[in-house]
């Protein structure tokens, strides 16, 4: 197995750059918010989203505006500031249920393997 494939598997699928506008909605009743964001990188288990605010790691969120009809929820696993003068944050989001919720027409082969492994572990 080549090193690129090993890295993709460790990351739970090849990451694909994209531009998907969504609304990020907090599911935390104590700290509610609804914020427009731009998804910039995706794989079957999560994404990176550019947002105009910081969000605490661990906050449960819903992604609204994706090209799927199912409810897509996840958790913030990372929040990176781009400096004091920057007007956006990069959020790492982990999906509660992995899959191609991004509308990628021809996903990489390792996406299917990633989701299949998750289905087997859930059984």
Q: Looking at residue 81, which CATH number applies to its domain?
A: 2.40.10.220
* pTM of model > 0.85: no
Asked whether the beta carbons of 99 and 115 are under 8 A apart, the reply is: yes
State the total domains in the chain.
1
Angle at 89 between CA 56 and CA 107, to 5 degrees: 95
- At 51-90, the pLDDT tens digits run 999 999 999 999 999 998 888 999 999 999 987 777 899 9
Q: Look up the domain containing 99 and give its range.
A: 3-122
Strands annotated E in 27-87: 34-43, 46-51, 60-64, 72-81
If one compares 1 and 70, the residue with the highest pLDDT of the two is: 70
Q: What is the pLDDT of residue 84?
A: 77
């Amino acid at each position: 197995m080549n090193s690129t494939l090993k890295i993709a598997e460790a990351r739970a699928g090849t990451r694909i750059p994209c531009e998907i506008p969504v609304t990020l909605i907090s599911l935390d009743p104590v700290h509610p918010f609804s914020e427009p964001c731009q998804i910039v990188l995706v794989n079957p288990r999560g994404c990176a989203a550019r947002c105009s605010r910081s969000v605490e790691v661990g906050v449960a969120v819903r992604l609204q505006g994706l090209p799927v009809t199912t409810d897509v929820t996840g958790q913030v696993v990372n929040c990176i500031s781009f400096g004091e003068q920057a007007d956006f944050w990069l959020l790492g989001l982990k999906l509660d249920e992995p899959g191609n919720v991004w509308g990628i027409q021809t996903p990489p082969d390792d996406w299917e393997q990633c989701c299949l492994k998750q289905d087997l572990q859930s059984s």
